[in-house]
């Protein structure tokens, strides 16, 4: 399995990523051990997840999402979760 995920900050800064181990990856983002964009902008809330059978499929989808304009990404998240609820339990990082 592979996952495309979207993280958000409280100010709705967005980050799209791909992983084969979602709980571990969320924990890495939340601990800021990776540094970079998500650590700098406090982008830690999991607001969207899409499962895929192969990493290749997930990478294609991630690239598609990253090519979208911001408003389209916001619409994707809001359509599924209007309250932008964190989908990962707090213990996941």
Domain residue spans in the chain? Answer: 2-85
Asked if residue 92 has pLDDT above 70, the reply is no
What pLDDT score does 90 carry?
72
* Per-residue pLDDT tens over the stretch 16-71: 999 999 999 999 999 988 889 999 999 999 999 999 999 999 999 999 999 999 99
Architecture per CATH, domain 2-85, reads as 3-Layer(aba) Sandwich (3.40)
3-7, 20-24, 65-69, 80-84: the lowest-pLDDT one? 80-84
Distance CA 70, CA 3 (A): 20
**pLDDT score for 58:** 98
pLDDT reported for residue 52: 98
> What's the CA gap between 83 and 57, in Å, rounded?
28
What's the confidence (pLDDT) of residue 91?
60
Report yes or no: 22 and 3 within 8 Å, Cβ to Cβ.
yes
User: According to the model, what pLDDT value does residue 93 have?
Assistant: 47
């Amino acid at each position: 399995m592979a996952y495309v995920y979207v993280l958000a900050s409280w100010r709705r800064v967005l980050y799209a990523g791909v992983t084969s181990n979602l709980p571990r990856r969320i924990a890495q983002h939340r601990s800021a051990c990776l540094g970079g964009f998500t650590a700098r902008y406090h982008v830690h809330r999991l607001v969207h997840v899409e499962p895929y059978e192969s990493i290749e499929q997930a990478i294609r989808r991630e690239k598609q999402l990253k090519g979208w304009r911001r408003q389209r990404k916001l619409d994707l998240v809001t359509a599924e979760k209007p309250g932008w609820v964190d989908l990962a339990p707090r213990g996941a990082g």
